[in-house]
Amino acid sequence: MLNKAILLIFDGLGDRPIKDFGGLTPLEYAKTPNFDKIAENAECGFMNALGRGLRPGSDTSHLAILGYDPDVYYSGRGPIEVAGIGLQLKHGDVALRGNMGTIDENMVIIDRRAGRILDVSPLTKELDGMEVDGVKFIIKPGTAHRAGVIMRGENLSSAITDADPHELNVPLHTVEPTDDSPEAKRTADVLNKFIKQSYEILKDLEFNKKRAEEDKYEANCLLVRGAGQYKHVPSFKERYGLSASCIAGGGLYKGIGAFLGMEIVDVPGATALPNTDIKAKFKTAKEKLKSHDFIFVHVKAADSLGEDGNPEDKKDFLEKADKAAAVLSDLPEDVLLVISADHSTPCELKNHSADPVPIVFKGGSVRIDDVTAFGERACAKGGLGFIEGRHVMPQILNLMGRLQLIGA
């Protein structure tokens, strides 16, 4: 019987045929003997995290796969990002994610990440605690150029647009309400005032004058986006009775773990970049099995390399991941190993797509099928058939003998 589980998500793993690879995908073309051996001893299938024909975001796909219906628990990226940097939302709060960026005196975007500035804490501490029209702004640094923002006050709403225009050489957007409620209008107004006031503060800081002298982009604007409201989210432990640990390099994925009340493990060398120490993450996952029932491991770079349109490096990264996966070849008998992805990131699209991704369930209780390779088309012939993200946790719980009976 299976008692513990590792869920391993390779972000953006799936892809489309690459001409230079003879029409194979990067995963199909990559030499992945360890993954193939796992697939050979597993029940395989293919999956779209949100369902057929839906193109998943990174946040919604992870919520769905972890069994939290995005329609119920998701109201924007903000609450997840701020959870990831250790902030706790209260009822009525609106949360946003932000980048420290660079704008000119006409509020036109020069750089969305202030030259990929590495630490924004000298800037966020100048803004943290500001009040505008009775709304308090709680602002904390994230990794590198990132920051989390909580708006705390009466009558706020997350039904607002982004200030961040997501492109260069255009003016900062004015935040607009997206519904007719007075709360949305008020929130947009307060946020626009805050952005103006914070620009006035940031542009005159010694810190930025020094950056200008060093010919670095000044970090003079907090580009906010992804407003979301507080929602009550039962923890993973409450929901499933499983103590859970999250091993991820990327802030969003730590955020997902924190949002669901998982322990967040910092693994040295886990960078969310192609240089990440995957082996260290897998080793940590095995260690964590001693203290936790469920280990969520996130590996980011295949997604980024897909977004770069770089099949060669995506393939190389997957081969590196496969080598690291040797660490997982001697898992204890009572451990279920699930490997999949949140979505495809086809190199030709340089973005997420709705193409299904492979999924494998390996462990003593599964009905091993005749799939012998870990790849999109190989796993599509697996015993599970097509599933959605919302089916993953029930299948894990089913194999662990932990599902509720419906009826009698």
The Cα–Cα gap between 4 and 183 comes to: 45
Measured CA to CA in angstroms, residue 321 lies from 234, 330, 376 at distances of 32, 16, 17
Among 149, 272, 376, 389, binds a second copy (CB under 8 A): 376
Residue with smaller CB distance to a second copy, 5 or 387: 387
Burial environment of residue 118 by CB neighbours within 10 A (0 to 12, 13 to 18, 19 or more): exposed
Q: Is 160 in the site for a second copy (CB under 8 A)?
A: no
Q: How far is the CB of 84 from a second copy (least distance, A)?
A: 14
Q: Is 337 helix (H, G, I), strand (E, B) or coil?
A: strand
Among 12, 26, 76, 306, binds a second copy (CB under 8 A): 76
Q: Is 375 helix (H, G, I), strand (E, B) or coil?
A: coil
Residue with smaller CB distance to a second copy, 202 or 360: 360
Among 190, 227, 262, 380, binds a second copy (CB under 8 A): 380
Q: Is 310 in the site for a second copy (CB under 8 A)?
A: no
Nearest alpha-carbon partner for 15 in 341, 365, 339, 402: 341
Burial environment of residue 57 by CB neighbours within 10 A (0 to 12, 13 to 18, 19 or more): middle
**Site map 163..202 versus a second copy, x via CB under 8 A:** ----------------------------------------
3-class SS letters over 203-256? HCCHHHHHHHHCCCCCCCEEEEEEEEECCCCCCHHHHHCCCEEEECCCHHHHHH
Q: How far is the CB of 399 from a second copy (least distance, A)?
A: 8
Q: Is 340 in the site for a second copy (CB under 8 A)?
A: no
Scanning 72-80, 88-96, 281-289, 314-322 for contacts with a second copy by CB under 8 A, the matching segment is 72-80
Evaluate whether 250 touches 300 at the Cβ level (below 8 Å): yes
Q: Is 405 in the site for a second copy (CB under 8 A)?
A: yes
Residue with smaller CB distance to a second copy, 41 or 197: 41
Contact residues for a second copy, defined by CB under 8 A = 1, 16-17, 23, 25, 46, 50, 52-61, 70, 74, 76-77, 226, 346, 348-349, 351-355, 364-370, 376-377, 380, 383, 385-388, 390-391, 393-395, 397-398, 401, 403-408
